[in-house]
Structure 1
Amino acid sequence: MAVSKRGAEAKSDPVHFNARIEGIDYDVLDDLVGYAVRRAQLSIYEDFAATLAAEDITPQRFSSLVIIENNPGISQTKLAEVMGIARSGVVSIIDRFEKGGLVERHASDDRRSYSLHLTRDGKRQLKRYKKTVLDHDHRIAQALSGAEKKLLRDLLKKLCPLPGA
């Protein structure tokens, strides 16, 4: 996420992201894959945030819930690795979910870690979030055909290949 008015102050002073501003010469930036991906990501993130603002769900929080649901008992450390964030960031996310009654921490064999599980309410809420996120995804990709969506996903996967691939 960009360090600008996208943080805490964005709630009181929203800034609309313009992916392309008329009259601006972008020079070499127009040729950079990374720049194009980042601009698209910012635009998509803005729509996601607006779509789920009332739920206080960010892409990171949504992804965390999906990973926990599909990997019951995952440790906080493994979740941090999967999410690509610091363990302290996961602790903060899980604290929020635990207070909201969405996630439970269970003691594991290793006394230093916890296994994570969605609560009944967490499963119910996530089902609702998934529908909203799928609607958001359909809306932001509506200019693409089904084949183009698949091609885009496949091409993006090539930019971050699996280790050893």
Structure 2
Amino acid sequence: MTQRIHFNARIEGVEYDVLDELVGYAVRRAQLSIYEDFAATMDGEEITPQRFSSLVIVENNPGISQTRLAEVMGIARSGVVAIIDGFEEKGLIERQASGDRRSYSLLLTKAGARQLKRYKQAVKEHDERISAALNQAEKKQLCALLRKLCPP
């Protein structure tokens, strides 16, 4: 197991100057802290936020193509192929031929659905932990504000 170095988003005695005013900097610092907790939560599971998101998208969009999944995830198609290869080896996702010989439809297997159920519970607990300082209205507002930073 790799020893993790704890990420401290704010170090006392360090002057941050303009960084304290930058939205992108604040979002990135929060993301690093959140990712650290996610990694600790899912330790030993070989699952990352990207892989977790991929499973959720496939579960909720049965038959989605690898190309469409790559578009949804905002990653290269080759990256999705690598993710799906790993899931297929573990028996979590299966590829099915579609009408286009160059494309596959993706489906979660029964084992994949069981595993994803476990992952979802752990990720929900992680999300509650990392957002514990916010009330429900603030959580909803934060998500809405972050969505505004990602134009369609």
Do they fold alike, i.e. is TM over 0.5? yes
Among candidates 122, 129, 147, match of residue 139 of structure 1: 129
Which consecutive residues of structure 2, in runs of 5 or more, have no partner in the other structure? Answer: none
Amino acid at match of 1:44: I
CA distance in 2, matches of 1:53, 1:89: 22
Tell me how many residue pairs correspond in the alignment: 152
CA distance in 2, matches of 1:12, 1:148: 35
Which residue of structure 2 lines up, in the alignment, with residue 130 of structure 1? Answer: 120
Which residue of structure 2 lines up, in the alignment, with residue 31 of structure 1? Answer: 21
Amino acid at match of 1:148: E
Which residue of structure 2 lines up, in the alignment, with residue 90 of structure 1? Answer: 80
Among candidates 75, 78, 81, match of residue 68 of structure 2: 78
Which residue of structure 1 lines up, in the alignment, with residue 12 of structure 2? Answer: 22
Aligned sequence identity (%): 74
How does 1:146-161 map onto structure 2 within 5 Å? 146-161=136-151
CA distance in 2, matches of 1:21, 1:134: 28
Q: Secondary structure at the match of 2:106?
A: strand
Q: Does 1:63 align with 2:75?
A: no
CA distance in 1, matches of 2:31, 2:59: 25
Q: Secondary structure at the match of 2:20?
A: helix
CA distance in 2, matches of 1:99, 1:58: 17
CA shift for structure 1 position 36: 0.2
Taking CA–CA contacts closer than 8 Å with sequence separation of 6 or more, which of the two structures ends up with the larger relative contact order? 2
Which residue of structure 1 lines up, in the alignment, with residue 90 of structure 2? Answer: 100
Which consecutive residues of structure 1, in runs of 5 or more, have no partner in the other structure? Answer: 1-10
Q: Secondary structure at the match of 2:44?
A: helix
CA distance in 1, matches of 2:80, 2:150: 22
Q: Which runs of 4+ in 1 moved over 4 A?
A: none
